[in-house]
Structure 1
Amino acid sequence: MSSLAIGLTGIGGMLILLFLRQPVWLTLLLCGVVGNIVMNNGKVAQMVAATNVFDTSYNYGLSVIPLFILMGEVATRSRMSAELFAAARVLLTGVRGGLPIATIAASGAFGAICGSSVATAAAMTRIALPEMRKAGYEDGYAAASIAAGGSLGILIPPSVILLIYASIAEVSIARLFAASMIPGIVLMLVYIAVAVVLARKAQPRNPDLPVSILTRVRALLGPWQFVLLFVLTIGGIYTGIFSPNEAAAIGAFGAIVLGLAQRSLTLAHLVDAIQRSVIISCVLFMVIIGATVFANFVVQTRMPDLLLAAAADANMSAAAVMGIIILAYIVMGCFLEGIGMVLITVPVFLPVVVGFGFDPIWFGVLVTILVELGLLTPPVGMNLFIIKSQVPDMKMRVLYNGILPFLIAPLIVIALMFSVPEIATWLPDRLF
């Protein structure tokens, strides 16, 4: 059996195990170990697995992941998301569809200190959905605006997906964070544009009362903790004052200090945030370990090189290759979870993409947008299920119908990424 056939068999076995609902980390690790045994022998497979476990656990650069996760967990329990929503609501009072728009804006802002789409969607469901229901917004429209806004958490830095991509692609986290900022803002604005168009059909029962300019200005001062954390972490990275690891540590510590000082974070909440951070980080590191073992197997099969050569022999253009890759991500996003999808595909696709002359930083932003699309795409849209889990009386059919108009927003940004690549490359080129 050729190395390409072995590689394709390994990927096929991996997909079968995933569809059988096996854990992602176990699937990747098992296929990687078995693949290494087939390519080499049991002793080599054992050495590869042991080395990857040690290297991943010992990697100082990956310490940024649990620290940013802790910052997001503390921020969630410190009611920063509620303060952002309250400020956005006041600022947008009088605007038709103001509450859904405020939800998207607050979600995008909260994503800048949370880094998790699931956590952002969960927090905004508790805060914004009752208010939108009270105002008379239709459930599908209200829930879809929460799901769409929540997905921004993995694109606007810091982002767990971007951190994992950086570790796989071995690219600068700081440059990747800078590259994702403008596309993240653009996507948030496109989501808002969709919400504005849909708001024409909305008939809220409780129209907002007039709000003075002074009240709107005061509302901007409400989420000052968020602004401070953002300046300390992302601003510190962009200006070169802090490394990503230092910024993550300062951000986590700052979130704890601010929460305790404002008495919005109790000791019980802090302990819960630490426990959640440890559990999430352990799961992520297990997935990363499995992915590195699987990536080692893929590299040995020379599959990326063979795919690149096959595309060249077939005279396929760079646009055609990228079209196939994007279609593959969209299809996988309908069934697979985002982090696992990145860990499975990047080792295979990245060498091909770079071989056709695309910037790996640019590709990292593109992959994140595609993962974001997967968070919203039926039947396995994670953000939709997060909302459903917190609102059992809402039917999935309502969620599916509501989210469909918002799916056009990531596609528009993807088209912009190809037509104007500088959207992702301009800021990192200026800062670093």
Structure 2
Amino acid sequence: FILIGFLAFHAGITQSLFDAARKWFGFLPGGLAVASVFATAGFAAVSGASTATAAVFSRVAIPEMLRAGYSKTISAGVVAAAGTLATLIPPSAILVIYAIIVEESVGRLLLAGFIPGMVSALIYVGIILVWAKIDPKVGPPIKGYTWSDRIKSVPGTFPVISVVLIIFTAMYLGWATPTEAGALGAFVVFLMALAKGMKIDALKESLLETAKLTVMIFSLIWGVLIFVRFLGFAGLPEHFTNFITSLPYEPWVVMLMILLAYAVLGMFMDAIGMLLLTLPVVYPAVMALGYDSIWFGIVVVKMAEVCVVTPPIGLNCFVVSAVRPDIPVSTVFRGVGPFVIADFLTIAVFMIWPEVITWLPQTMMN
């Protein structure tokens, strides 16, 4: 899935996706920022990596927004925040990691992330529209595109749509496991890249970037598996579960305390490392409180990814600033502020209405 994302970028598929979104939504207040959110959501459906998504659209979307007169604050902020959509919209790498740690169904988790991912994207769009209405200078609308231009841009979205359909058809009709579906998707994108004239240097770079990110993730997983074995010998998960279940509070209060603890931890750790280190202890306690494993996976991953755009770690913010050295990381952090508030409200929605998460996997898998 990570390879799909890098191949799609180097093949120019992401640029076509953004161009189509720009022509359809550019007329809105903050239209290019809205287009960035929808294009990022589409790219997330073939990528699955938050930082890779932020890096790609720092190259694709930010230059377009700055040329159109957008402020650096909203341009950088929307790309950093929208990059987190890749953690919910399948195929999410971090959801797969969660499934490995807690031994949950990868298929159910990926399905469960779809609606919350779309909800998050729509809430981001709402934030942009309100922001641009209050201060029109931050994101002026782009005019001049006709219906003919919009219709002609639609074929540019076909590569992404076709890859998504191939992956999910193979996975949910039982033709392939998630790993096999990802490999099939990567092969299809590779053929598309060849058809678009991809150079050998671009292919080498895609493979190298994929290898680096994959090695990092699996190194963390191997280390955590050893760590979990030591935790088991010490009996820490059992002791923590007994402590949590003995607290004189309602389960939702305890869950809120756990999520707040994740918010604090996220200030000092990256999302994957935080989940790998805490889930072996926290997960059994959450299950003892009576919560659904799929629901908790989506909520905790959403909370972990909020931390990817909050200081002082804010990995996505540093990625955007690294790709765009003309934008200080402090500007990126200011830009993601409204989206972080929206993320906390989204998590509250998931806690109040868990069916937003659980309905689709229950319906599809049954």
> TM class by shorter-chain length?
over 0.9
Task: State yes or no: 1:248 paired with 2:197.
Answer: no
Cα distance in 1 between the residues matched to 2:184 and 2:334? 42
Task: State yes or no: 1:291 paired with 2:227.
Answer: no
Alpha-carbon offset, residue 120 of structure 1: 0.8
- State the Cα deviation string for residues 212-245 of structure 1 (Å, max 9, x = none): 2232222222121111110011332233332212
Pairing of 1:161-240 with structure 2 (within 5 A): 161-200=94-133, 201-203=135-137, 207-240=141-174
Pairing of 1:64-143 with structure 2 (within 5 A): 68-143=1-76
Alpha-carbon offset, residue 183 of structure 1: 0.3
- State the Cα deviation string for residues 348-372 of structure 1 (Å, max 9, x = none): 1100011111111111111110121
Aligned position for 2:209: 276
User: Gaps spanning 5+ residues in structure 1: where?
Assistant: 1-67
Alpha-carbon offset, residue 207 of structure 1: 4.9
Aligned position for 2:308: 375
Report if the CA contact (8 A) 2:163-2:188 is conserved. yes
Aligned position for 2:299: 366
- Shift in alpha-carbon separation, 1:409–1:269, aligned structure 2, 3 A: same
User: Gaps spanning 5+ residues in structure 2: where?
Assistant: none
Cα distance in 1 between the residues matched to 2:62 and 2:293? 38
Cα distance in 2 between the residues matched to 1:246 and 1:327? 37
Structure (1 or 2) with the larger CA radius of gyration? 1
How many residues were matched structurally?
364
In structure 2, what residue type is equivalent to 1:184? Answer: G
Aligned position for 1:348: 281
- State the Cα deviation string for residues 109-132 of structure 1 (Å, max 9, x = none): 101101111111111111111111
Task: State yes or no: 1:325 paired with 2:261.
Answer: no
Alpha-carbon offset, residue 424 of structure 1: 1.0
Q: TM-score, normalised by structure 2?
A: 0.96
Q: TM-score, normalised by structure 1?
A: 0.81
Cα distance in 2 between the residues matched to 1:155 and 1:394? 27
Report if the CA contact (8 A) 1:295-1:347 is conserved. yes
Aligned position for 2:195: 261
Tell me the SS of whatever aligns to 1:406. helix
Pairing of 1:34-73 with structure 2 (within 5 A): 68-73=1-6
Tell me the SS of whatever aligns to 2:91. coil
Task: State yes or no: 1:315 paired with 2:251.
Answer: no
- State the Cα deviation string for residues 265-298 of structure 1 (Å, max 9, x = none): 2222112212222222222211111000101111
RMSD of aligned Cα (Å): 1.5
Report if the CA contact (8 A) 1:239-1:431 is conserved. no
Moved over 4 A (4+): 204-207
Report if the CA contact (8 A) 1:70-1:273 is conserved. yes
Report if the CA contact (8 A) 1:85-1:128 is conserved. yes
Cα distance in 1 between the residues matched to 2:37 and 2:23? 14
Alpha-carbon offset, residue 262 of structure 1: 2.1
Report if the CA contact (8 A) 1:237-1:244 is conserved. yes
Alpha-carbon offset, residue 206 of structure 1: 7.0
- Shift in alpha-carbon separation, 1:251–1:430, aligned structure 2, 3 A: same
In structure 2, what residue type is equivalent to 1:90? Answer: K
Cα distance in 2 between the residues matched to 1:102 and 1:207? 11
Q: Percent identity?
A: 35
- Shift in alpha-carbon separation, 1:73–1:227, aligned structure 2, 3 A: same
